[in-house]
Chain A
């Protein structure tokens, strides 16, 4: 064994090296996620073997059977919608180097205020009850994102810290509301609001499923973000300050305005995701609105290369991995951890493959002395 590892170290690894490319590879930028998915599937097959399962059946259970009927496909949309909305907003921020980690808090505020609005108007019989609730939720997310925007523009704070902290504030506000003012008066003091009636429930877009209008919001946001980023001047400005803020300033772009723009858009989209969850599949305000959609959306945004179309695919993939974890437990009796393992592997391989965007692998003809090249392994 030690002989083998020595051979590997001495000859294998040192005969490869990474050297910087003169220019980043555009091909690999888009190929890297595909490569990561392939590697994840291969490693997954090995894990199934190790767990004593047929790898083909295992992969089928995880990635095919959750979406093998129309209900499953609809559920994929239900699960992907909130992540898609958040990730589109985050991508606009990240393109401009605005590190908003606060989609989770913005989503929760959207859910909280949207649910409050829904409860106020649901017995009014107005046709605009649902619209009012959706607008209220989006606006709440927008206002929640306004706080870190103001802090960054006028007090020079780091938005990573402020947005993370505001996530916890939002969660505690939600818990306070659901245990207090928004609690169902006929609910035996249990922490949840009254059930919403039809007037404030998102319409179902595929009969006999839970697929609701929220997915349409996500797809619309995708198209709008794509137009914004690739066809408008403001999108161009965002990308410029993201690549080189001083170049943007030199060109006379108003960086502060762009910070407001990106953060507020993201806040509104995350807020819409939140209110769509409570008026959609959940149907009331409960303490656990989001199992971390705002955080998962960060992964989705990067997995989708900060591109609206990529993000849409990535959010579907992420949703599928979640659902696969459930199917693995139901059909194969595999532990929940296998599902989490798939998520972890996907990210790990993506980061590893991303190295190839900036570097190329060089195979050396001669086997060089080993000690001279320790840096190549870490690169």
Chain B
């Protein structure tokens, strides 16, 4: 018995020693970080936001990291080759930044167990694949509060990409905020079935304006909807990055995402060998979701109310998906006092009251 304990102790000690050696070895090394982008880095939206995060990481960690990116990688058969190539070329940490890379990322991760992968906006994880996403919907709720005060026609147009939970959460959170300040306002949604297609995004925005929308919100990656709103003399909310320069009169604010801190933290965790496959879903409190600057057009009391809501979301005293919430058909979807769990939010496939049209199922 004693020898067994001794053996175990020795084994544990040597394992700990080995681990500590590898920690120091790792710490002195430089790591290579790869990014796979779904759009061009100049899209001024989603991919641009990730690339800004990559630059911030490089800036903060200096010569401890090196970064590579591959842009406009199609979400079909090509993704696996690109991800694999990055792993094969000695990248220690790889971020795959679009939902469609989920299964390719998992396949490659299986072949390269030592490489760390982080996949954005997906739901499958493994030993060396973590996931991350931002609670954009928190910022969208705040934009909803503003929209309710600013609309005159009581119709808001919403340019949607794909009818997946992430986008539906945004529409619902926005509508909840909207009807908080203006119970008569409604939201019309147009789906363009693409993340990045400036021509379609613009067409969709124009169609919504023609249907009476005087504020355009978007869950697509280019600033085309903001530009359309500017040209037609209506208002808009941007997304991902501060899009105010594309429509200085139209752009009211927007739900921004800030990946820089997250990318820096993850790279650091690889440097000091503490990386694990986590599921990160950061919101306003973690600094991952921010608000774009408020347009001067917005009355001061509306800004104050919006900022208060933002602060309350950050402290947790305001929960967006807390009952009573009425579904589109008027039935009570969430009873008073009940908060939706993350799992329920992540699989959201229903509209709240105030959204018009049918959710494609």
Contact = CB atoms under 8 A, between A and B. Distances in A.
A284 to B, nearest CB: 7
A180 B76 contact: no
A239 interface: no
B72 A282 contact: no
B271 to A, nearest CB: 22
Given A282-B76, A286-B75, A188 B123 contact: yes
A289 B79 CA distance: 11
B100 A286 contact: yes
Interface string B49-85: 0000000000000000000111111111110111011
A333 B68 contact: yes
A290 B76 contact: yes
Given A179-B163, A189-B164, A330-B86, A288 B76 contact: yes
A19 interface: no
A159 interface: no
B282 interface: no
A101 interface: no
Contacts of B85: 326-327, 330
Given A284-B103, A286-B100, A291 B347 contact: no
A336 B81 contact: no
A304 to B, nearest CB: 22
B128 to A, nearest CB: 19
Contacts of A190: 99, 123, 164-165
A244 interface: no
A213 B168 CA distance: 40
A201 to B, nearest CB: 12
Contacts of B40: 336
A333 B51 CA distance: 14
Given A179-B162, A179-B163, A179-B360, A329 B80 contact: no
B328 interface: no
B76 A331 contact: no
Given A283-B103, A336-B40, A189 B76 contact: no
B82 A326 contact: yes
The size class of the interface chain B forms with chain A is: 35 or more
Contacts of B168: 189
B81 A75 contact: yes
Interface string B187-219: 000000100000000000000000000000000
B165 A188 contact: yes
A310 interface: no
B68 A330 contact: yes
A338 B100 CA distance: 25
Nearest to A75: B81
Contacts of B193: 175, 179, 287
A281 interface: yes
A283 B80 CA distance: 11
Given A287-B193, A330-B85, A189 B74 contact: no
A104 interface: no
A288 B360 contact: no
A291 B81 contact: no
B241 to A, nearest CB: 20
A189 B71 CA distance: 26
Given A179-B163, A336-B70, 12 more contacts: A175-B193, A188-B164, A189-B165, A190-B123, A191-B162, A281-B77, A282-B77, A286-B75, A287-B193, A322-B78, A326-B82, A330-B85
Which 10 residue pairs of A and B lie closest in terms of their CB atoms, listed nearest first? A281-B77, A291-B74, A189-B349, A288-B75, A329-B70, A188-B347, A288-B76, A175-B193, A336-B71, A190-B164
17 contacts: A79-B77, A180-B361, A189-B163, A189-B349, A191-B162, A191-B164, A192-B100, A284-B103, A288-B76, A290-B76, A323-B81, A327-B85, A329-B69, A330-B68, A330-B85, A330-B89, A333-B68
